[in-house]
Structure 1
Amino acid sequence: MIVRIMGEGQVEVAQSHLAALNKLDDELLAEMESGDGPGFRRTLNALLDQVREFGAPLPDDALEPSDLILPSPEATLEEVREMLSDDGLIPS
C-alpha cells in the first residue's frame, strides 16, 4: 500500500502492518470524537511514526497514486476531522 504523509512524501507499507495501523486509527477516531486534544496529538504522532517505521520511502521523483493520505504531524484536530471517513483515516 502506498501511503502519503502530507508534506513528507510517500512510503510503501506492507499489508501485514495494516492491523497495527488500524488500531491506532481507531484510537485517534475515539480521541477526536471525545475532543481529547492531547490524546489526539499523541496518537497522530504514533500513527505517523509507525507508518515511517514500517514503510519504505519511495524516491522523490516517483509519482505513484497514493492508496492512503495521512495528515502532517502539525495538522489540527479540525483539519484531520475534515479528512475522516466513517472508518477513520485508514479504511478497514
Structure 2
Amino acid sequence: MSVDQATVRKIAHLARIKVADADVEPLRGELNAILAFVETLNEVDVTGIEPMTSVIPMAMRTRADVVNDGNIADLVTANAPAAEDHFFTVPKVIE
C-alpha cells in the first residue's frame, strides 16, 4: 500500500494537524515506511500463538466494585461558593 499526497493531507486534516506544503512529501515517505513495516509484520506466521497483555504472565489486579462517596465530601465541597449537606448549592434559575 502506498500513500499519496492527497491521502497525507486527508490524514492531517482528520488529525487536526496543519501540515505545510513543504512537509507533505517527507511525511508521505515516513507514512509509506511505516506501512511497509506493518506489511513486513503481516508476513510472520502467528497461528497458534495466544495474544498477550504483558511480557510477564500476570493476573490483572481487581478491586471490589463498591459505590461510595470516597469519604472526602468535605474536601470536595471545601472550595464551593455555597454548599449544604455535602452538596453544591446553586441559585434557582427556573421558576
* Larger-Rg structure: 2
Which has more helix, going by share of residues? 1
Per the normalisation by structure 1, the TM-score is 0.26
Which has more strand, going by share of residues? 1
Relative contact order, higher structure (CA 8 A, sep 6+): 1
Per the normalisation by structure 2, the TM-score is 0.25
